[in-house]
Structure 1
Amino acid sequence: MTTEEVQQKIKELKRSFRLVMNGPASQSMREKGLDYRLNWGVPVIQLKQMAKELGKDYDLAIALWKEDIRECKILATLVMPAQQMPQEVAEIWMEQTHTQEMAEMQALNVYQHVSYAPVIAYQWIARPEDVYQICGYDILGRLFMNGQEPNERGINEFLDQAATALQAPSLGVRHAALNAVLRFADLGVVYERMAHNALKKIGIDI
């Protein structure tokens, strides 16, 4: 798309958000701390349908992300071609991420598919910010679910970080870490035993 076509498409999308807006859902999200400049409360399933019709488009994804609108940002994660997304852009997007929902959307829709997924995942689970940790554990959970086995260093780092995260004050972080550990354990009997032994030390049995 040309720059003009991208801007025109974004205008059309904004109009379509108004038509399918869900006021109660939007209000509920605000009450739960999902704070965006604009939030139409459009269900993710409808955004996925819109993304399917749009197809993958790097320039459109970049432009959509710049809009401080929940629906635009989620669409950006859905139309971004993972193989074309540089790590620098992923880092910028995460710097601008302030909600658990958006961290989860990025992990699910884009980052699990990028070639540098393990690199950013291990970096982010070691960060102090909740949204980084949630995104990092969600990426690793998806990689483990797809059968990607970590090396010895990765195993030790993951289990050490996860044990700390499972004692974090944030429910979102604990939930993401536990899901990743369960996916890790699903890789096989040896992995299950390692996870069990690591978590037993902090009084958690899986």
Structure 2
Amino acid sequence: METSELVKQIKRSFRLYMNGVTAASMRCKGLEYKVNWGVSQPDLRRMAMQYGKDSALADALWNEQGVRECRLLATLIMPSDMMSEEMAMRWANDITSAELAEMLAFNLFQHLNFGYTLVRHLLDKDDVSRICAYNLMCRLLKRGEQPDMETLDKLLAVASVDIHTVDRQLLHSLINCLQCAEQINTEKALEVRQLLNNNGFDAF
């Protein structure tokens, strides 16, 4: 089946899993999408298993801008070994929600061999992109991938500003990331600990 026809088939299938209550709850929490069927992430994972890994289909789904389920499904079926740095940067430049930022980091970006390049790129961008950066940094650290000094310096510089944010999702991602960097004992662990302590997050 042609990729375009597969995309149409997938979009039609979302109706089978739609959950209006969940979609409404997301809107109340500030998760705005042009189209949101309220399909649960477990259901999306089951759909991903059905279609398997497919880079062309994943990119086509990602290009369905504003459709929540298409974009989340894209993060699940994109083969990490077939995602170029150019494509990853394009996706990174097009993050539109905290949910998507978290799923990109967890489902896909952490498996790329240029993860810290993506972290530095995302740290230069808007709030939702930085949510992705902090989540990605945390995942890479937990995978045992030691960051370079350039990434650690940039993380601390941006985090020292973001730690004063009123955006709870951004702050939560940031604190998790900093605590992970401290516990894993990176070369900047002491500076990370001081940043947390100085801002009252030593026992966060």
TM-score, length-scaled by structure 2: 0.89
- Mapped to 1, the partners of 2:88 and 2:147 lie a distance apart of 22
Q: Is the deviation greater in 92-101 or in 41-50?
A: 92-101
- Mapped to 1, the partners of 2:99 and 2:133 lie a distance apart of 13
Q: 2:20 aligns with which of 6, 18, 23?
A: 23
Unaligned runs of 5+ in 1: none
RMSD of aligned C-alpha atoms? Answer: 1.9
Q: Could you say which residue in structure 2 is the equivalent of 1:73?
A: 71
Amino acid at match of 1:20: Y
- Mapped to 1, the partners of 2:95 and 2:187 lie a distance apart of 36
Q: Could you say which residue in structure 2 is the equivalent of 1:56?
A: 53
Can you list the C-alpha shifts for 1:126-177, whole angstroms capped at 9, x where unaligned?
Answer: 33x1011101111101001111222334333322322222112321211111
Amino acid at match of 1:12: Q
Q: State percent identity of aligned pairs.
A: 35
2:116–2:151 contact (8 Å) kept in structure 1: no
State the shift of 1:31 in Å.
2.4
1:130–1:173 contact (8 Å) kept in structure 2: yes
Unaligned runs of 5+ in 2: none
| 2:163 counterpart of 1:166 | yes
State the shift of 1:197 in Å.
2.2
1:145–1:186 contact (8 Å) kept in structure 2: no
State the shift of 1:36 in Å.
1.9
- Mapped to 2, the partners of 1:20 and 1:30 lie a distance apart of 18
Aligned residues: 202
State the shift of 1:192 in Å.
4.7
* C-alpha spacing 1:44/1:187, structure 2 compared with 1 (3 Å): same
- Mapped to 2, the partners of 1:188 and 1:89 lie a distance apart of 32
- Mapped to 2, the partners of 1:57 and 1:43 lie a distance apart of 21
| 2:132 counterpart of 1:135 | yes
- Mapped to 1, the partners of 2:36 and 2:109 lie a distance apart of 23
1:163–1:202 contact (8 Å) kept in structure 2: no
Q: Could you say which residue in structure 2 is the equivalent of 1:176?
A: 173
1:22–1:40 contact (8 Å) kept in structure 2: yes
